[in-house]
Chains A and B, each alone.
Chain A
């Protein structure tokens, strides 16, 4: 799944909400909450975590956790298909 490395690379999303309240509580606490913009910088190997940028701060976040964030894409990134 090396090709997934480039999925959404450099895309920017705006967070609109969360699908899971427990995860939401955790993410909000560290500064990931609705209204914030997520820029995807890179991704670890084999379906690993995302390296993201929010307001100049960096976070690591799992693929699964990313799926549980509802968001709209506001800038398209590089997709490799």
Chain B
């Protein structure tokens, strides 16, 4: 394991002995008939596994790129990565959004070096080739005098488009492979859960200006799991919860912001009227949720009557509840203590970068926005009082994964006896048909929700290995 503060090491040393599909598949001990589901520790640490994930998940399927509301004007752009590949999303002069490899066709240099901006023309700093905001090549320096051969003149010199690019309600996704299901099919019923976030405003979702980036020395799947993990909450975050107690006792006299959990803590034993559970969908998308009485400290409370009128009481309650939505593999919309959009970027088997934003309904009042931001900073920032405890524990898990014995992890078993594929009043109310639902009280803390992560992961990797005829990346 690297030290926590070493420089980023991109990629991994060449892996000896690529994994076969059978070997990869054997890392997940999935025996539904025995009620068994175990994960082998090496899925978090083996560089060969990491290379396969990059190739067959991040660089061969749909990944989240950003929000359309980040690019409101013609010629706005933002840069991101798809797997290891730099990508730029641009809005052209006609208002259309497109995604391109952020790489000059000439020598490959990155053409948009900054995180975001507005430019009609992107000129490569190396040899001066230029592209417009629709990705079209506009000029090749010295073209007329260049004595190019005929083949060059017949090639396209435009920026390379991502083979697939799509939008669902303002969420932008792209794929480096054309061989993927439609975005609608990929997201499936998880779209209805995106709706719960987007419908909080007639104008949709936006990101509060300002972003926070941090890294941790652990595998990206530790973050994937944590978002859906109700079991850790009271044991990992007691310091945060006790600070909420301290503030409640002082009744706001010290200038602290009220918590959405001041009145009702749906994660604690004896929570009143709370219901907790998980929904698991195809393709690895999951929701971990709890519903309770809408809190008057929630930034959305100012609009509860309007939302109830529009969407009905049950759906409105969902908007106020805790909903941690993972859209596999790289984005999580976490609505709990506040509201976060986080993008997971794996850098190495034992290093992950998190790009984090406060997401918010467009047009909420200044007071609601202020409260949302304050609640966010305290909980979600790496300088706050909850996320640091998660991130340090990811590193502790990563350290623990180095052991060669007792290799099967036991953290995937809670809730297995409660999981059901049958519809229930909650799924029917939301109009969703998850592959599996778990409904329970605050102490059930389902872990079977992770199964869909690892089944999708296994299926994508084994299929990729079989198709490419080798497990070796590159």
A and B held together in a complex = no
* Residues in chain B within 8 A of chain A (CB atoms): none
